[in-house]
Amino acid sequence: MTRGYTIPIGGAEEKMRTPAILARFVGLCGGERARIAVVPTASMLQTTGRKYEIVFRRLKVASVTVLPIETRADAARSAYVDALDGVDGVFLTGGNQLRLSTTLGGTPFAARLIERHAGAGLHVAGTSAGAAVMSEHMIAFGDDGGTPRADIVTLAPGLGLTGLAIIDQHFRQRDRLGRLLTALSYNPSFVGIGLDEDTAAFIGPDDTIVVAGSGAITVVDPSEVSYTSMDSANRSDPVSVLDVRLHILTDGARYDLRRRVATPPPAVVELPPSADALDEPVVSQAST
Amino acid sequence: MTRGYTIPIGGAEEKMRTPAILARFVGLCGGERARIAVVPTASMLQTTGRKYEIVFRRLKVASVTVLPIETRADAARSAYVDALDGVDGVFLTGGNQLRLSTTLGGTPFAARLIERHAGAGLHVAGTSAGAAVMSEHMIAFGDDGGTPRADIVTLAPGLGLTGLAIIDQHFRQRDRLGRLLTALSYNPSFVGIGLDEDTAAFIGPDDTIVVAGSGAITVVDPSEVSYTSMDSANRSDPVSVLDVRLHILTDGARYDLRRRVATPPPAVVELPPSADALDEPVVSQAST
């Protein structure tokens, strides 16, 4: 079998009127046949799991189960670990990504999740903290602001569902370009993905991202960086970074994480008022 | 072919009278047939490469070449990249690990190094900064002291020659248990390896470490950690970590990174003054 989709969401995704991102996740998981597990571990609120249970029920999935993993002992319980064998998709809620990594890291639950995602087609979506933890190199916390500084960000090991990208979330809303640039400047071998709220990256088994949602994804590609002063900067100094390639991608746009190539959203076919009025449909380029 | 050895050294290894660690590295690489490349990128001193060239010549290797990579453009030069195809071992000098990761990360030189180490049996040794950069999750910098605190350490992506361990160096000399515990507490799924000076971990293709040198290796195994307060701690707070397993391993001891099992140094066979004096050799257990 193939790898499942990896779906980081920038937080604050629409849940009620037009939950486009969550509906698309459900569609990937089989639509009305979809079996979903919700992992509310990142959240300190007892109501978070239940909230998503209601949202997924409204999307008419076949089953939705909340796995209330709160401790490392919970993450070793076979009832929770084995539950992963019977679902098509896992949803990691928001909260604190260090709560996810400290509670799940190195446990049987994390091992099974990683294994089934890699080889059994299990799709994994996560919002906010649930998105951050998908990186191998997870942004644990940091300061806001656009300019990179040597100590502006703290990285920690995440679940590593993608080894090609470092993910950040609430990106435009919390002015996080500086901390993402800092993370990438330490070692310019990953792609930075800054997710706006209500915006998701659907990362396929071929490592191509399709953007969905009402905001944008900021892709930061440091592969051509010719110079950074990161190694000589004092901790709070601003840091030089030269030759970063940046893409702002909106709904429908694509990004190939292996070849590092961006593709605009497909041309939108707007049907004229009467389909007979023209021989050819009007094609307009969507804005990127 | 198989993976080469990964050999992080804790810094300040003996180079003159009895360079046991470097001699063992040379032995692995073929002894008098060994072809060695020295990468002095971490160092700001122009003399570092030449210094190791002299040391390796004194150890009677067949050839030793210094690759003076100073910029990311250097790390794309085919003369340096292709040089990796003609050597048995690479030695990464000390200096600043962020200089290694910022200069080599994501470049053709790093890609070739990783590829030949993984599949062509290329052995890679590194001391101090050259040891730190071998981790997938590299300790870039941090504060000294024995107690973990949430912001005591800054992780950055390293070269990833081992995905199982987080390496720290000058370990006892600079009192670094606190920052290593902090790094492991973020996500208890790696093994911490704290290397004293003049002490090395020879990590084989089977992910078993053999300890060599005059100091000790502190192995920190967080796989049974039952609780950490890392996710709720303020940045400078001390952090609770419960149920860490610790091993102090000296010359000849082993550690299996996959099964997480430590083995004491083998019993030392001490020949009596005259080999005829006893039927059986005297076996004494070396201290651990």
High-pLDDT (> 70) share of chain B, %: 93
pLDDT surpassing 50 at residue A276: no
pLDDT surpassing 60 at residue B218: yes
So what's the pLDDT on residue B236?
A: 83
Q: What is the CA radius of gyration of chain A?
A: 20
Both tokens assigned to B191: 């093994």
Is B186–A151 a contact, with Cβ atoms under 8 angstroms apart?
no
Question: In this structure, which amino acid lies at residue B8?
Answer: P
Residue of A nearest to B137 (CA): A157
For chain A, helix, strand, coil in percent to 5 are: 25, 30, 45
Q: Is B70 a catalytic residue?
A: no
Is B105–A136 a contact, with Cβ atoms under 8 angstroms apart?
no
Q: Which domains does chain B have, with CATH numbers?
A: 6-284 (3.40.50.880)
Chain segment B221-244, per-residue pLDDT in tens: 999 999 999 999 888 889 999 999
Chain segment B39-64, per-residue pLDDT in tens: 999 998 999 999 999 999 999 999 99
Q: Is B170 a catalytic residue?
A: yes
Residue of B nearest to A166 (CA): B157
Interface check B42 vs A, CB under 8 A: no
Q: Is B270 a catalytic residue?
A: no
Chain segment A194-227, per-residue pLDDT in tens: 999 999 999 999 999 999 999 999 999 999 999 9
Task: Report the residue of A161, A189, A221, A229 to disrupt the B interface, i.e. the one with the largest count of B CBs within 10 Å.
Answer: A189
Interface check B135 vs A, CB under 8 A: no
Show which residues of A are catalytic. 128, 170, 197
Q: Are B182 and B150 in contact (CB under 8 A)?
A: yes
Chain segment A2-49, per-residue pLDDT in tens: 999 999 999 999 999 999 999 999 999 999 999 999 999 999 899 999
Print the SS3 string covering A3-37.
CCCEEEECCCCCCCCCCHHHHHHHHHCCHHHCEEE
pLDDT mean across residues, chain A: 92
pLDDT surpassing 90 at residue A281: no
User: What is the nearest CA distance from B223 to chain A, expressed in angstroms?
Assistant: 6
User: What is the nearest CA distance from A217 to chain B, expressed in angstroms?
Assistant: 22
User: What is the nearest CA distance from B154 to chain A, expressed in angstroms?
Assistant: 6
Q: Show Cβ contacts of residue A115 under 8 Å, excluding neighbours closer than 6 positions.
A: none
pLDDT surpassing 80 at residue A284: no
Residue of B nearest to A111 (CA): B189
Distance CA B131, CA A65 (A): 45
Report pTM.
Answer: 0.85
User: What is the nearest CA distance from B22 to chain A, expressed in angstroms?
Assistant: 27
What secondary structure letter does DSSP report for B278? -
So what's the pLDDT on residue B162?
A: 95
Chain segment B257-272, per-residue pLDDT in tens: 999 999 998 876 555 5
Is A154–B155 a contact, with Cβ atoms under 8 angstroms apart?
yes
Is A71–B231 a contact, with Cβ atoms under 8 angstroms apart?
no
Residue of A nearest to B164 (CA): A106
So what's the pLDDT on residue B237?
A: 85
Chain segment B165-174, per-residue pLDDT in tens: 999 999 999 9
Higher pLDDT, A24 or B150: A24
Interface check B143 vs A, CB under 8 A: no
Interface check A234 vs B, CB under 8 A: no
Interface check B234 vs A, CB under 8 A: no
Q: Which of A138, A141, A230 sits opposite B102 (nearest CB)?
A: A230
Is B186–A156 a contact, with Cβ atoms under 8 angstroms apart?
yes
Strand partners, B256: B208, B261
Q: Which of B154, B158, B226 sits opposite A73 (nearest CB)?
A: B226
Distance CA A242, CA A149 (A): 14
pLDDT surpassing 60 at residue B280: no
Interface check B102 vs A, CB under 8 A: yes
φ, ψ dihedrals at A38, nearest 5°: -105, 130
So what's the pLDDT on residue A146?
A: 86
Distance CA A88, CA A28 (A): 9
| Closest-CA residue to A199 (of A50, A8, A66) | A8
Chain B residues 158-187 within an 8 A CB cutoff of chain A: 158, 183, 185-187
Is A106–B151 a contact, with Cβ atoms under 8 angstroms apart?
no
Q: Are A176 and A222 in contact (CB under 8 A)?
A: no
Residue of A nearest to B221 (CA): A106
pLDDT surpassing 90 at residue A274: no
pLDDT mean across residues, chain B: 92
So what's the pLDDT on residue B273?
A: 54
Q: Which of B222, B230, B232 sits opposite A106 (nearest CB)?
A: B222
Is A105–B187 a contact, with Cβ atoms under 8 angstroms apart?
yes
